[in-house]
Structure 1
Amino acid sequence: MSVVEKEVKTKTPLIEIKNLSKSFTIGGQELKAVNNISLSIQPGETVGLVGESGCGKSTLGKTVIRLHRATSGEVLFEGENILSLPEKPMKKFRKEMQIIFQDPYASLNPRMTVEELIGEPLSIHKIVTGKAKKDRIKELILQVGLKPEHLQRYPHEFSGGQRQRIGIARSLALNPKFIVCDEPISALDVSIQAQVVNLLKQLQQELGLTYLFIAHDLSMVKYISDRILVMYLGNMMELADSETLSREPLHPYTQALMSAVPIPDPEVKRERIVLEGEVPSPLNPPSGCVFRTRCIHAMDICTKQVPNWKEVKNGHFTACHLYN
């Protein structure tokens, strides 16, 4: 049993997500982007979040830290429901929860220098001023592998990987405990992705950070995550520790995702599971199990009844009628 697995069993969760839902109104219709998600994240843990584009991953991450207003449910940060807090008392929790955005081109103001970008959170929250502020900014830029001479440059003068390092430095400015990594590597070259992920792992060890890591690349998610949650059309499909989910996926959707992960060994053969059809519109999701229209194991009950979220094995949960 790993250190994190022991901590999961003994520590109070840093984040508890309870029956969280987020809907948008589009053309008079309700779109359920996130539907009844429940998840606990322990201090120092990395939970990976995977699924096809449009499944609600980023919406969930932004709703957890209140960049989106939840439609219903609770998010407990160290036991306090932050979704019910007015803006003023919420400000102190903003320091504890940060986000690294997907696009380092769009998330940095092109008119601000690196020093101004990293220092902005410190000014808003009035953490430090003057020389102490400059020293803190210099410390942060060194921490992410850049140099003090970069501080007077503008975002367009950097590569994509360097820009994402600036975004990471900005997210660390307030000494947060929890960071939502919203697809932080998807806009980067493959050669740079591993560098950024290794930096995130290093910072987690040094600073005791807790991550919700959102990505499409399952091999990278497995590498960085302690546990992985699989989402489809706003719903939870499966949750397990990363090794178990990779070795023994239970849900047909997870099995299809895992079958697409390349194996770096030409002697090992894996049957590719190709999902038929398109992802249904979230404006008009299928009745019963939302995955049934693409599932080779679909049964009559899948049309009529939403599968229960069930612990099939120790710490391994899934929502599938094959196991209900």
Structure 2
Amino acid sequence: GRVFYAVGGTWRNLARLHMEMTNYPLGVMHHYEISADSAQAFLKQVAKGEVEKVRGIEGVSKNRRSLLPYGAVVLQEIMAAMQPSKIVVSAQGVREGFLYSLLDAEEQKADPLISAAEELALLRSRSVHHAHDLVEWTGTAFKAFGIDETEDEARYRHAACLLADIGWRAHPEYRGRQSLNIIAHASFIGVDHPGRAYLALANAYRHDGVFNDGIAPEIKALAPPRLLERARVLAAMMRVVYLLTAAMPGVMPRLKWESRGNGALALVLPASLADLYGERPAGRLAQLARITNRRLVLAVEGGPSVSVK
């Protein structure tokens, strides 16, 4: 009943064929999952040996096709003996495992997803320090709103914040699409496909609007409702805070959430940032209020305030 992790080139090519047969919407091999029931029917067909007649065989290299029936038979025997709950495919192999063994203990403990997102942020975003501010600020905001997170969901939010600004060089009309494509197809490990969808959609919603239902339906299909909801909430928070900070580090820690009466939450700007108070930030906060179904207030410390719901 445990998961069988498939490591090796023949397994990957079988998985590639399964992707093609099922019209799977994301062509990323790492952590591709095949249910036990789906695998049984698929392997039975491939094991017959007539792979050239299998739908989707064009997606597999001709040099690898002759090995597929043998791999299918071996995997059938493994499944008969182990009775796994599902198959999860690894894009990594023996070489990567050997390289990992050469790392010191501290490096081995590092989260591979967070490390990769950090490197991408350093390469493509305006300020990785601002991204770190965003990680801390959204964590505080989620707690203020009473939004619980599993350990993996918190990791995904952390990575999404690091990746939030990687598309800033693109034309505004294409930032969301470009960011989504980079993230959805990046060579990340330490994340499954629903988590990858969360990362990509949070970034797309941040640029293209949290109520844009036309964004990447094929990617949305990979994520359960809980992750889709959290991607929208996170994106709505990003849309508020990027407008107030312009990606400048050091501003976000000065923006505080305060509880008000009747369950309302106030985003309070310090008096020194009173010039940021206005209609546009209030409008962005209204979007967040609508998504979270909370009454929110934009306020200046010791100054004006406006309720947006």
TM-score, normalization: structure 2?
0.27
Q: Which has the larger radius of gyration?
A: 2
Which protein has the bigger strand share? 1
Considering Cα pairs closer than 8 Å and 6+ residues apart, tell me whether 1 or 2 has the greater RCO: 1
